[in-house]
Amino acid sequence: MLYALEEMLLKLNRMMRLSHLVVIFVVVCLGLGLSPASASLINPRTTLQCHVRSYSFRATKPPIVNENGDLVTCEGEVHVNSCWGRCDSSEIGDFKMPFKVSRHPVCTYTGRVVRTVTLSECQGYPGDPTIEVFDAAGCACRLCDSDFTSCENLNG
């Protein structure tokens, strides 16, 4: 009986040491910015949530004719935080028109931050080389709000 108790205490001691290592690992990961929700750890094929991600696009300002009569362009690559992911939706039958009750939330931002970006390829551009962009401050599954989002074909 005493032998079994000693063996259980040894196992418990090993488990406690292992749990301390797990806690240390998590603290180190969080300190390095490797949070569990970071986009590199999210499998896009299996996630059923809405996430913030970095998105790049090419922005172009209208060309302007300079004082020499040459057409000058201004463009560049812009990086913003955007929302991506999946949201659970539902639709059930109903006896009243339109004979269904629908709930179709979309992955959209919970807040946005306005930022001014200077485009990088504007050599000799006589106009303002900056554009205003929006960064998603957070993302969540919400019903579509046409004041801020394109909501075609989501009206029930």
Residues 6+ apart with CB under 8 A from 131: 59, 61, 78, 116, 117, 119
| pLDDT: which is higher, 42 or 70 | 70
Alpha-carbon distance of 68 to 153, in angstroms, equals 49
- The answer as to whether 133 is a domain residue is yes
What is the pTM for the complete model shown? 0.59
pLDDT at residue 40 in the model: 60
Instruction: Please choose, from the candidates 156, 77, 76, 56, the residue with its C-alpha nearest in 3D space to the C-alpha of residue 123.
Output: 76
pLDDT for the residue numbered 137: 95
Distance CA 2, CA 22 (A): 30
Mean pLDDT value of segment 46-67: 92
Please give the average per-residue pLDDT across 76-90, as a whole number: 93
In the chain, how many domains are there? 2
In a domain, 82, yes or no: yes
Residue 148 lies in a domain: no
Are 19 and 96 found together in one domain? Answer: no
Residues 20 and 69 in one domain: no
Q: Is residue 99 part of a domain?
A: yes
**Would residue 109 count as lying in a domain?**
yes
Instruction: Give the residue from 10, 35, 153 showing the smallest Cα distance to 89.
Output: 153
87: closest CA among 109, 106, 111, 110?
106
| Mean of pLDDT over the chain | 78
pLDDT value of residue 3: 52
Gap between the Cα atoms of 59 and 118, Å rounded: 10
Range of the domain at 104: 45-142
Domain shared by 84 and 136, yes or no:
yes
Torsion angle (degrees, nearest 10) of CA 15, 16, 22, 26: 160
Query: What confidence tens digit (pLDDT) does each residue in 24-51 have?
Result: 333 333 333 334 344 567 787 787 789 9
Instruction: Clarify whether residues 81 and 123 are in a common domain.
Output: yes
Q: What is the mean pLDDT of residues 2-15?
A: 53
| Cα–Cα dist 28/76, whole Å | 37
